[in-house]
A and B are shown apart, each in its own frame.
Chain A
């Protein structure tokens, strides 16, 4: 049983190259939103956790593809979950944008019923202000489910590796490695984007926040629209 396959290197390189061409447009806005949400705090650990979550989701999906050897069957079954992830991502970006700009005054929205410890208010606050660094990990896990062309292509290769493997176990492992390599390949680009919008050095961040708010609102609405049309 050999687990060395040139496919791994191919998809590591693919992750890296499509990262610059594709992920910048698709996952970039999410990374920018998460970075802005940090408001100048250290970004390395949160983004490491976000990317770890994303890569773990890819790896698990690769294992499922490798086990079944059928891309279309699995893709059909997870389409609804992916649609939900897309809509969730859009809503999260919109709420983060509104909260960052101060355009989401929870006290005014909930009026006399505003209760900072209430369930709804806490939910909004959790979405709009991820205070705990560890929260970036489940966000990454969930957003790893976002539908994306190159991810589908890598999953297709994972399913192919599973189909050609002599045993189911080998298929699972090969599928997981293909997707792990692909995911790792995409990390440098997303870290670079996170670093570029890092504003720990900047004293007056208001202009950046305003530009970021408008961009995030546009992208958030677009994500929700795409999710509804998916």
Chain B
């Protein structure tokens, strides 16, 4: 009985590794957030309540493993605290990568950060802009490796 359980667990491990590896080979993943921001072309805007959040990433094209400047522009009233953004991949956990934005006047906030590279070859990333007291806007875009 114990051996059967062990045999089952060994085969299960192999199967899991095979599936995970196969999924990581496939660069087009199912069920992943759809791209809603053409970050290579310029600014992207998303609604947040009655206001609008605009994101711009420079330099373009948006490239992984290099310093990038993230500029967030908020329409409407000033939030209680400066917004921040979390970078991640829709398809894979990459660990916390938060960029604190600093006010630059007229509803504009700026911060520097790096989009890292995933060995799987996947290129779709998101920047979740969090505006304290107002909500979140999730920009999904492709990067260049």
Contact = CB atoms under 8 A, between A and B. Distances in A.
B65 A149 contact: no
Given A29-B17, A32-B13, A147-B119, 15 more contacts: A18-B95, A24-B17, A25-B17, A72-B65, A72-B114, A148-B119, A149-B118, A149-B119, A153-B94, A153-B96, A193-B17, A201-B3, A202-B6, A208-B10, A226-B121
A25 B9 CA distance: 17
Interface stretch (B18-26, B32-40, B53-61, B126-134): B18-26
B17 A215 contact: yes
A26 interface: yes
Given A71-B114, A149-B117, A156-B114, A24 B16 contact: yes
Nearest to A219: B21
B29 interface: no
Contacts of B10: 196-197, 199, 202, 208
A199 B11 CA distance: 11
A153 B97 contact: yes
B62 to A, nearest CB: 14
- Looking at A14, A149, A208, A226, the one whose CB has the most chain B CB atoms below 10 A away is A149
Contacts of B3: 201-202
A56 B101 CA distance: 33
B95 A154 contact: yes
A222 interface: yes
A222 B14 CA distance: 16
Nearest to A156: B114
B93 A152 contact: no
Interface of A: 10-11, 14, 17-18, 21-22, 24-26, 28-29, 32, 71-72, 75-76, 79, 86, 146-150, 152-154, 156-157, 182, 193, 196-197, 199, 201-202, 208, 211-212, 215, 218-219, 222, 226, 229
A196 B9 contact: yes
Given A25-B23, A196-B10, A219-B21, A72 B95 contact: no
Given A26-B24, A26-B119, A218-B21, A149 B92 contact: yes
A168 B94 CA distance: 27
B85 interface: no
B41 interface: no
B121 A18 contact: no
Contacts of A153: 94-97, 116
A202 B7 contact: yes
Given A72-B65, A152-B116, A226-B119, A25 B95 contact: no
B94 to A, nearest CB: 5
Contacts of B95: 11, 14, 18, 149-150, 153-154, 157, 182
A25 B20 contact: yes
B11 A32 contact: no
A21 B95 CA distance: 11
B140 to A, nearest CB: 17
Contacts of B75: none
Contact of B94 (A147, A150, A215, A226): A150
